Amino acid sequence: MNPRVRFAPSPTGPLHIGGVRTALYNYLFAKQHGGTFILRIEDTDQTRFVPGTEEYIVEAFDWLGFAFDEGVNVGGNYGPYKQSERKPLYKQYAQQLIDDEWAYYAFDTPDQLDAKRKEYEAGKKNFQYDCTTRLAMTNSLSLSKEETEKRIASGEPFVVRFKFPENEEILVNDLIRGEVRINSNLLDDKVLFKSDGMPTYHLANIVDDHLMEITHVIRGEEWLPSAPLHVMLYRAFQWNAPAFAHLPLLLKPDGNGKLSKRDGDRLGFPVFPLQWTNPETQETSSGYREMGYLPDTVINILALLGWNPGTEQEILSLDELIKLFSLDKISKSGAKFDPEKAKWFNHQYIQKQPVAELAKALDSQLKEHKIIAPLKKVEWAVVMIRERVNFLTEFWEQGHFLFEEPESYDEQVVKKRWKENTPDQLHGILNILSSIIPFDKVKAHDEVVAAIQQNEWNLGQVMNCLRLSLVGAAKGPDLFEIIKFIGVEETGKRVEKAIEKLTMNG
Ligand code: GLU
């Protein structure tokens, strides 16, 4: 089997992480089976088009690092891959359905449909355009052939609607949910072709999946209600239907409802892969990339939201995921997004990341602060501080003192630790440090500790004051490693500066 699968977003705004997960599952499935992964842009609804979305989608997948084999961005033998560029193609299929009596012209104006809805509401009923109501409406089933032709010839706007057969059990075979059955009487005669000459999502989606020889449709659960119509369309065209797999919803952290586009910044974590600025309102929504997440983290988190390998292993690389993924281990119930877990994953991935990659992040943060440092030093700093870093964006915060002297000193530490004899003690320590040539971290530690003991000084107090002088706070990696990094001379300068500032204050 060489499956052909597609990710088919509509360019109606930035890509939600639920969409990224759908794409990921399609990708894993395709790669595992030596198949083809396609990006198709479904932009038939011009009223919902948001400029910049398509570029955003392509950039997001570039960042995540999983490539499409065919699609808007890469081309392929089944193009064009953007539905608006395929416009001339769909009409004949709508015509075919009309000719075969699977569809009909409908002339009802928006006002008339509205009036109908209101009339039903007044009787506490819901109006649905279906087998029970269609003959009371204005369409080619209720009008004579001549009247229909006359209206079309005179240019009267029309839509084409699907004609569901009466009282038929429609079966959708879903790879995740099993058999889903629904009676056709419950379904409305969906519009397939609009008065603007464009197909709707339903028609274009089926025609394209057929023409692009899609074998598996793997998509979000929100499309399950459309699946019976899609199954019927395949039957009407006498085409083989692809296999369907509807993925469970991503839920809010508390499990109460679907994780929506709005939830992210409200709940304090991103729901988009990249930051997005709404072109109309200029409102910005945060993205995983800008928040300092690694693409591997995002892939790993999303892979496990709705699927698991059936083992305890949680850290899974893309290659491992490709090997382990299977549609039958996807759960039917929604998966709760856990922001704390996301942070944990990112911490783990930062520890696994090649130093050179992390150095790029620190280097650009240094440059933002107008600091140019040799690559070797940047990499060394990364090794020292990565353990304390959860997000790429935190390298500066956790390691700035390796590249600049402190401007201020944590007041609480000063109050607790800085004593009258501190300057003398620190001078003593500086003497020891400068006597060790070449500098050796272990030797320095041992000699400093020995001197403190000999003088009966308080070890914690002295060490904390030394750290305070170098870092500005009681935090950071191993003190003697910091001294080695900045050098004994710089250590001396920082200690003198601290003595001057803190003694003056005192
Ligand atoms: N264009 C649909 C969307 O935006 C695709 C649904 C499908 O995969 O069939 O999600």
Considering the domain boundaries, does residue 19 fall inside one? yes
Band of the pLDDT at 506, cuts 50, 70, 90?
Answer: very low
Six-digit token pair at 166?
A: 């009466």
Q: How far is the CA of 45 from the centre of ligand 1 (A)?
A: 12
- Pair (185, 42) in one structural domain: no
362 and 323 in a common domain: no
Active site amino acids: 261
Residue 77 in any domain: the answer is no
User: Measured between alpha carbons, how far is 5 from 25 in angstroms, rounded to an integer?
Assistant: 10
Is the whole-model pTM more than 0.95? no
The residue whose C-alpha atom lies closest to atom 10 belonging to ligand 1 is: 9
Distance 327 CA to ligand 1 centre (A): 19
Question: Euclidean distance between the first and final Cα of the chain, in Å?
Answer: 78
DSSP code of residue 325: -
- Per residue in 60-77, pLDDT (tens digit) is 999 999 899 999 989 999
Residue 79 in any domain: the answer is: no
Q: Mutation test of ligand 1: which of 205, 224, 230 has the most ligand atoms closer than 8 Å to its C-beta?
A: 205
CATH code, domain carrying 340: 1.10.1160.10
Residues 63, 205, single domain; the answer is yes
* Ligand 1 within 6 A of CB of 205: yes
The DSSP output letter for 133 is T
Per-residue pLDDT tens over the stretch 210-248: 999 999 999 999 999 999 999 999 999 999 999 999 999
- For residue 284, what are the β-bridge partners? 277
CB atoms within 10 A of CB 377: 17
Atom number, ligand 1, closest to the C-alpha of residue 7? 8
Query: Is 255 domain-assigned?
Result: no
Residue 114 structural domain: 88-193
What is the Å distance from ligand 1's center to 22 Cα? Answer: 10
One-letter amino acid at 64 equals: L
Span from the CA of 375 to the centroid of ligand 1 (angstroms): 45
Give the closest residue to 94 by CA, choosing from 158, 146, 153, 183. 158
**Burial grade of 77 (CB within 10 A; 0-12, 13-18, 19 or more):** exposed
219 Cβ inside 6 Å of ligand 1 = yes
| d(C-alpha 277, C-alpha 412), whole Å | 41
Instruction: Kindly state the tokens that stand for 194.
Output: 């609009």
Q: Considering 193, 219, 240, which residue would you say is the last residue of a domain?
A: 193
Quote the number of domains for the chain: 5
In a domain, residue 83? The reply is no
Tens of pLDDT, residues 282-315? 999 999 999 999 999 999 999 999 999 989 999 9
The reply to whether 113 and 27 lie within a common domain is: no
Q: Residue 256 domain-assigned?
A: no
- Quick check: CB of 8 below 6 Å from ligand 1? yes
Q: Is 9 in the pocket of ligand 1 (CB under 6 A)?
A: yes
Q: Residues 89-107: pLDDT tens digits?
A: 999 999 999 999 999 999 9
Contacts of 409 (CB under 8 A, 6+ apart): 468, 469, 472, 473, 498, 501, 502
